Amino acid sequence: MVKHDPFANATKQVNDACDILGISDKGIREYLAMPNKMLRVKIPVKMDNGKIRIFTGFRSQHNNDRGPYKGGIRYFNPEGGVEYMEREVMALSSWMTWKCAIVDIPLGGGKGAIYVNPKTEKLSDGEMERLTRGFAYKISEIIGPEKDIPAPDVYTTGREMTQIMDTFSKLNGNKYSPGVITGKPISMGGSLARNVATGLGAAYTIREAAKTLKIKLKGAKVVLQGFGNASTFAGESLEKMGSIVIAVSDSKGSISIPKGAKVSKILEHKQKTGSVVGFPGSKKISTEELLTTKCDILVPGALENQIDAKIAEKLQCKLIAEAANGPTLPEADPIIYKKKIMVIPDILANSGGVCISYLEWVQNNMGYYWTFDEVASKMEANITKGFKDALAVSKKHKVDMRKATMVLAVERVLEAFNQKGIWP
């Protein structure tokens, strides 16, 4: 029995958006909430000790009204077990549909997973490859550059993406098919700027929000929770816009640096010592103190469920950009809204990643590759427009940005659905 059901949460968000849009038709609501297809597969793998182990994998295809399904494949073992993972994958595929619609890229929503933790279970490279290729074989009939394009997610990397691409290609008469998957290494048809995409995209949305809120980015004080891919590139991009990072954290603890410090210097320290803690001139603080530091911009860029009602009451920032997925609990949203703090919700703030995945797919399909700046500026155009569109919806319906992004996305998907109608 799991504590909460992520798919029920995703369904509620769709229903809330339908309420705002005045869509009462139960059939339409169900159409928008439910995945089109949920594939559950058994993957037999010959382990190094000669024994056969059966793994369970999923691919949820939520909605393809606006384009092929798109979404990561994760290797993980959530606490709730395999049945929980099925619900989680369904929810994650739904969020991908909305994310792609907000930034107006012609893709739908999908998500995949295998119930395995390659870190704690210490699978060998050979076992990992057999598992990955076994899964690719099982889902090969439903994926493809024009059908469903997976990507990396928790505990999967460019290596797994390459193996999936190669398996798919060999199953299809050796047809060169880089567009079947994104997040590939550059030598395999990956895109420049993918590594910085999520953090850079978050910084672009922050820049747009700052204009609206009249926050001057030059000298603006920034707090980063987490010091990994999403948060460090968000921090570095904001630094380039003139802002100053004054507090950061990682899994070992949080620090405050009242005078501010360059992200590159903190990174150097983390690389040497294994943590941001102990950075010269910093003071160790609690997670709560980090999140409630007086600042202009708070970037939760690590984990889900960080800002609850209690923290929300104490927040002292003007803007929150959710680089991480799900850092704010639903109970905190009304409190934050009342305090007039703007939240750039995760499905918009961290959509730079999917924007550049889309651009990787476009480059693969063209067989022509853009420079870093070309890719980054195309992503900038999509994500800033996404922010402006969501802000307009927020003003029109007098709702917070979280609700506004969902309303915008649901409207866009519904428009495509209505054009096509139902057949057969």
Binding mask 99-128 for ligand NAD (x = CB under 6 A): ------------------------------
Site for ligand NAD contains 249 (CB under 6 A):
yes
323, 335, 404, 413: residue in contact with ligand NAD (rule CB under 6 A): 323
- Contact, 206 vs 297, CB < 8 A? yes
35, 226, 235, 386: residue in contact with ligand NAD (rule CB under 6 A): 226
Q: Which of 70, 111, 184, 221 is catalytic?
A: 111
Interface positions, 139-178, toward ligand NAD (CB under 6 A)? none
Alpha helices in 103-154 (DSSP H): 125-139
Helix (H) or strand (E) holding 33: helix 26-33
Cα separation, 202 vs 247, whole angstroms: 18
Q: How far is the CB of 177 from ligand NAD (least distance, A)?
A: 23
Cα separation, 11 vs 391, whole angstroms: 23
- Contact, 11 vs 98, CB < 8 A? no
The angle, 0 to 180 degrees and rounded to 10, between the axes of the packed helices 401-420 and 81-102 is: 80
- Contact, 361 vs 182, CB < 8 A? yes
Q: How far is the CB of 195 from ligand NAD (least distance, A)?
A: 8
C-alpha torsion 381→386→389→392, nearest 10: -110
- Sequence letter at residue 210: A
User: Which DSSP string do the residues of 223-259 spell out, in sequence order?
Assistant: EEE--SHHHHHHHHHHHHTT-EEEEEEETTEEEE-TT
Nearer to ligand NAD, 17 or 255 (CB): 255
Count of CB atoms within 10 A of residue 109's CB? 30
* Chain position whose Cβ is nearest to ligand NAD: 228
Nearer to ligand NAD, 196 or 407 (CB): 196
Residue in this structure with the two tokens 């880089």, named with its chain if needed: 178
111: annotated active-site residue = yes
Site for ligand NAD contains 325 (CB under 6 A):
yes
127, 208, 239, 250: residue in contact with ligand NAD (rule CB under 6 A): 250
Q: How far is the CB of 128 from ligand NAD (least distance, A)?
A: 19
Interface positions, 187-206, toward ligand NAD (CB under 6 A)? 198
- Contact, 238 vs 262, CB < 8 A? no
Interface positions, 278-307, toward ligand NAD (CB under 6 A)? 301-303
229, 256, 316, 384: residue in contact with ligand NAD (rule CB under 6 A): 229
Cα separation, 104 vs 351, whole angstroms: 11
Cα separation, 158 vs 153, whole angstroms: 10
Q: Both ends of the chain: CA-CA distance in Å?
A: 38
Q: How far is the CB of 1 from ligand NAD (least distance, A)?
A: 25
φ/ψ bin of 50: left (φ > 0), alpha (ψ from -120 to 50), beta (otherwise) = left
Alpha helices in 65-196 (DSSP H): 81-102, 125-139, 158-171
Cα separation, 103 vs 204, whole angstroms: 13
100, 206, 230, 317: residue in contact with ligand NAD (rule CB under 6 A): 230
Cα 15 → chain centroid: 22
Binding mask 6-45 for ligand NAD (x = CB under 6 A): ----------------------------------------
Nearer to ligand NAD, 227 or 370 (CB): 227
Cα 177 → chain centroid: 24
Q: How far is the CB of 349 from ligand NAD (least distance, A)?
A: 9
157, 172, 251, 377: residue in contact with ligand NAD (rule CB under 6 A): 251
C-alpha torsion 339→4→350→395, nearest 10: -40
Q: How far is the CB of 251 from ligand NAD (least distance, A)?
A: 4
Nearer to ligand NAD, 64 or 249 (CB): 249
φ/ψ bin of 144: left (φ > 0), alpha (ψ from -120 to 50), beta (otherwise) = left
Nearer to ligand NAD, 8 or 154 (CB): 154
Binding mask 333-352 for ligand NAD (x = CB under 6 A): -----------------x--
Nearer to ligand NAD, 43 or 321 (CB): 321
**How many residues belong to the site for ligand NAD (CB under 6 A)?**
19
Binding mask 51-70 for ligand NAD (x = CB under 6 A): --------------------
Nearer to ligand NAD, 190 or 301 (CB): 301
Binding site for ligand NAD (CB under 6 A): 198, 225-231, 249-251, 301-303, 323-325, 350, 353
> Catalytic residues, which ones?
111
